[in-house]
């Protein structure tokens, strides 16, 4: 054996690949190579718990933020809707309830509740010949104006629907009268179109064909005032219901027309076989709206024939609302006027429900 040289440095043991790999994996895992396995596991558990607590804290902060946002949204909703709800409650529902109580009391010249008479106001009103005549007149007006407006609106919608260019302009043009006030339109018809003077537009156009000037609103034999009423109502309403029919026509699938065209269907067969059946729901809704609007007629009848409360008795035709307005505001009999309002409301609701039953409007599957 050769002697050992004390000056030569000690030879470092070369690490084996296995130990180096384990140390690298230990350091990569976040655990020093010289830590015991149990200590490394404890360190990982501590870091996991710290991470879990941090996540929980962030979730709590997010939940608290959502709670604050939700609470702020509820407060804003209450603040914004409270004036509308309070206004509706006071000026609509409380007023309806008060009116019903007035209909059960003898309220003459006052709206204070006092002398209760029960159903006497209803019996008095139903025995009033003027009120029954007004119901008959509005019934005749409804029977005539509803189908005429329905047919005019549907025909105009069919014509506009066929037009490819300028449809939006035509739709807007016909819809503009629906935004006009009934009062303004009535005064326009009364003072400009049918004022009875030779310079009136209707008499001027008639003069071109040799016709004599006509007092449209004062003529009762024949009753030419119906021409004024019907033309005014048509001008105001046809455009609105035309838009409803246009919406229904645009919802009809084009494939139905294409399939019918392949079978040789054209013109009237397409109208009666596809268009009208597909417009059933729209037609029922339009009829219901027209009926309700006809029974609520007031502005044109009052403004065309009357210049004030004292002139309501001289009108050649009165609707129930005009008669009740004269009773309540002219005679100051608020109890009788309130009773008439509820009678008319019950009549409209009853006929509307009857119409819905016959037409099937509102049933499931419609």
**Can you give the pLDDT at residue 69?**
62
Place of tokens 């005679």: 331
**Can you give the pLDDT at residue 162?**
86
Q: How far apart are CA 336 and CA 323, in angstroms?
A: 11
Region for residue 3 given its phi and psi (left: phi exceeds 0; alpha: psi -120 to 50; beta: otherwise): beta
**Can you give the pLDDT at residue 122?**
93
CB distance 290 to 146 below 8 Å = yes
Report the length, in residues, of the chain.
366
Q: How far apart are CA 257 and CA 273, in angstroms?
A: 10
**Can you give the pLDDT at residue 6?**
43
167 three-state secondary structure: helix
223 three-state secondary structure: strand
Dihedral sign of CA atoms 315, 321, 327, 328 in order = negative
Q: For every one of its 366 residues, what pLDDT tens digit does the chain have, with 9 covering 90 and above?
A: 444 444 444 444 444 444 444 444 444 444 444 545 666 666 666 666 666 767 777 776 777 666 666 677 788 888 888 898 898 888 888 989 999 999 998 888 888 887 888 899 999 999 999 999 999 999 999 999 999 999 999 999 999 988 888 888 888 889 999 999 999 999 999 988 998 888 889 889 988 988 888 888 888 888 888 999 999 999 999 999 999 999 998 888 888 877 877 877 777 788 888 888 888 889 999 999 999 999 989 999 999 887 544 444 467 888 999 999 988 888 888 999 999 999 999 998 998 888 878 776 655 544
């Amino acid at each position: 054996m050769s002697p050992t040289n004390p000056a030569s440095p000690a030879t470092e043991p070369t690490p084996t690949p296995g130990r180096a790999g384990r140390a690298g994996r230990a350091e990569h895992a976040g655990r020093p190579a010289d830590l015991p396995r149990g200590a490394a596991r404890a360190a990982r558990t501590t870091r996991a718990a710290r991470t879990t607590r941090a996540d929980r804290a962030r979730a709590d902060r997010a939940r608290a933020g959502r709670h604050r946002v939700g609470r702020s949204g509820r407060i804003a909703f209450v603040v914004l809707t409270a004036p509308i709800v309070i206004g509706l409650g006071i000026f609509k529902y409380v007023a309806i309830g008060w009116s019903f109580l007035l209909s059960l009391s003898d309220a003459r010249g006052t709206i204070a509740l006092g002398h209760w008479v029960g159903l006497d106001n209803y019996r008095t009103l139903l025995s009033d010949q003027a009120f029954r005549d007004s119901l008959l007149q509005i019934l005749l007006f409804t029977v005539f104006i509803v189908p005429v407006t329905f047919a005019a609106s549907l025909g105009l919608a069919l014509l506009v629907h066929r037009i490819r260019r300028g449809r939006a302009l035509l739709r807007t043009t016909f819809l503009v009268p629906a935004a006009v006030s009934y009062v303004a339109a009535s005064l326009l018809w009364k003072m400009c179109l049918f004022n009875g003077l030779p310079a009136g537009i209707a008499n001027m156009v008639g003069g071109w064909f040799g016709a004599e000037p006509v007092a449209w609103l004062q003529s009762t034999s024949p009753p030419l005032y119906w021409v004024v009423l019907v033309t005014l109502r048509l001008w105001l309403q046809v455009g609105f219901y035309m838009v409803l029919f246009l919406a229904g026509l645009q919802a009809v699938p084009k494939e139905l027309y294409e399939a019918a065209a392949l079978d040789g269907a054209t013109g009237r067969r397409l109208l009666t076989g596809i268009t009208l059946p597909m417009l059933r729901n729209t037609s029922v809704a339009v009829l219901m709206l027209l009926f309700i609007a006809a029974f609520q007629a007031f502005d044109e009848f009052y403004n065309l024939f009357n210049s004030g409360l004292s002139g309501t008795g001289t009108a050649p035709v009165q609707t129930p609302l005009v008669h009740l307005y004269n009773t309540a505001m002219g005679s100051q009999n608020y109890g009788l006027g309130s009773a008439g309002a509820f009678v008319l409301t019950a009549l409209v609701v009853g006929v509307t429900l009857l119409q819905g039953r016959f037409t099937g409007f509102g049933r499931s599957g419609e």
